[in-house]
Amino acid sequence: MDTQIRQIAERIKELREVLDISMDSMARDLNISLEEYGQYESGLKDIPISTIFGIASLLDIDYSVLLTGESPRMDAYTVVRKGEGVAVDRYKGYHFESLCSNFKNKVMEPMVVTLEEGAPPPELVMHRGQELNYCLQGRVKVTVGKNEFVLSEGDSIYFNPALPHGQQAIGGTTKFLTVITE
């Protein structure tokens, strides 16, 4: 089990228990099975970022607390230098770097996502809010519902993330900016 995944799972379990929320309630509110939720909380299965956002919302905390174990402290501005954002490797070939994890009361989450070609196709996810993907490098295939779009450097897509969606690198390493609103 990956150390980072285990740490996130432990934080979720501890906070859920402190708040006296049942696993059944969490699974129901996240619209997933109790078995799947149990796998996330035990660290047996990686948690999609959209589910981390959902869990954080249910626990009434900033998602950064789950990722880092620390509460955001800034409320006027936060500067993130190149390569110094909170980084998370979601699964083989998918890496993201948060660009505002230390800012309190965020209404959007900007991240730079790096996808490696040849990584397994992504599991499609759904979440609340709105989402923007802006291709910075390479080419990325974006699936939204039953539609697929190929974005090249400088292209973007804005969509409703309540539709099943995912991204996959095409033709080499791909980087894109994603901005997700709550």
Question: Within the chain, which residues score under 70 in pLDDT?
Answer: 1, 90-91
Residue 180 and residue 53 in contact, taking contact as beta carbons nearer than 8 Å: yes
pLDDT tens for each residue of 52-99: 888 998 999 988 888 888 888 898 999 999 988 888 776 677 788 989
Residue 20 region by backbone torsions, left for phi larger than 0, else alpha for psi between -120 and 50, else beta: left
81-110 burial, b at 16+ Cβ within 10 Å, e below that, comes to eeeebbbbebeebbbbbbbbbbbeebeebb
Neighbours of 124 (CB within 10 A): 13
Residue 41: C-alpha distances to residues 1, 78, 99, 109, 122 (Å)? 12, 30, 26, 23, 21
Q: Which residue has the tokens 């129901």?
A: 28
In terms of C-beta density within 10 A (0-12 exposed, 13-18 middle, 19 or more buried), how is residue 62 classed? Answer: buried
Give strand pairing partners of 113: 96, 176
What is the set of domains in the chain, with CATH numbers?
3-68 (1.10.260.40), 87-181 (2.60.120.10)
Residue 115 and residue 91 in contact, taking contact as beta carbons nearer than 8 Å: no
The pLDDT score that the predictor gives to residue 91 is 66
The pLDDT score that the predictor gives to residue 125 is 84
Six-digit token string for 41: 């909380």
Six-digit token string for 161: 């993330």
The pLDDT score that the predictor gives to residue 22 is 96
E-state strands within the chain? 87-91, 94-98, 108-115, 131-144, 147-152, 156-159, 165-181
In terms of C-beta density within 10 A (0-12 exposed, 13-18 middle, 19 or more buried), how is residue 113 classed? Answer: buried
Six-digit token string for 99: 């660009």
